[in-house]
Each structure stands twice: as structure tokens, then as C-alpha cells.
Amino acid sequence: MLLRRRISRLGQRALKTAWNQPGKEHARLIFSSRHGEFGRTLSIMDSLTQGTEVSPADFTLSVHHALAGLLSIATGNTQGHTAVSAGMESLFYALLEGAVCRSERPETPVLVAYYDEPLPKPYAAFGHDDDETVALTLCLDQDGEEFHMSWIPSAEGVSTSRAPGGQLLDLLDGSARSAVIVGERLTWTIERTHAAA
């Protein structure tokens, strides 16, 4: 209840998806988002422009790794955690970071949590028309399905036509065998290579 009162609705959704994962107490945590809980950042800016006191909760929880820190405290997880923010490609850089962590310590599962929501006015112009609210957590471990991820440079000025979370979910639920996401810098391809036993 304490966590629920402190975090935004987007943060609650992100933490709920991570909380439901087995092994969260000892997994490496990677949280990824383009903008984090941007509503908190906007609240801080509004307070500063109006000359009022900045909310301590907004200040503390506006950083990208705040949710990972709250989850680690709530679960007693003393593994390291990482925050990744890389524009429209945040999810895929987080997956890449997760793969590196798994390669480094194969015995330790990795939770990759991705959360995002459309930017509010007047910052919506910096977003994309197909932005959607999404919160998902993937557990990278030894017993799951196997996927291959690759990337090549994207053509200049080309961006994805659909939010990356949706394409990845299509791949994970079996609706698609691969996902190709054209990002701002790279075009990412994720393919299912082996099904879980």
C-alpha cells in the first residue's frame, strides 16, 4: 500500500508487471522508458515556474531508476539494477543490456521492465502519433524460449510506424515469428529461434 500511494498510475502498472514475475527477489533489474514518469517532471517544472515548493516525492521519484529502486527495496533484492532511456529504442537497448547481463552471469535471471505513456501537452509534439501507454516485464532466464536479436542502421528520418511494445507482444504470444522495428537510429529484428520445452 505504501508503494501504491507513492507512485503514479504508470508506475503502478510497471511495478505490477515486475511484481508478478517469479524470481524478482534475486533477479538483476533493468527498467527502461523513454520519458519515465514524465508527469512528475512536469509537476516539478510547474512548481518552479510558479515559485512554489517542489514536492519531495515528485523530486525523488522523477528519476528513471526510481521504480527499480522501489522494487528492490520492497522485495529485498540486493542485485544491481540499471535504468535505460534511449528514445523510441529504449526497449531494445534494455533487452540488449539484459542479454549482456545474462551472458555475464548465466545463473542469475534478469527482469527487463519497459513502461511508457504519451507525453502530455505541450510536449506531445515531441512524441509520436502512435504512442500508447504500455507496461511490460520480461524475465530472461535459462528455461524460456530462445530469441535472436540483430540490428542494422536505419535510413535517416525513418521511424517506427507502431509502438515497439505491441510488436514485441505479438512475437511473444505467438501471433508472429519475428518483429522488425524501425527506430530512430537502428532497425531491430527479433526472431524466435527455439521454443521452450
Q: Which residue has the higher pLDDT, 182 or 143?
A: 182
CA distance 9 to 11: 5
Chain segment 24-55, per-residue pLDDT in tens: 999 999 999 988 888 888 888 899 999 999 88
**pLDDT for 1 beyond 90:** no
pLDDT score for 85: 93
Q: Which residue has the higher pLDDT, 37 or 195?
A: 37
| Reported pTM | 0.86
Fold annotation for 2-143: Peroxisomal Thiolase; Chain A, domain 1 (3.40.47)
Query: What is the Cα–Cα distance from 91 to 33, expressed in whole angstroms?
Result: 7
Average pLDDT over residues 181-188: 84
Q: Please give the average per-residue pLDDT across 62-85, as a whole number.
A: 91
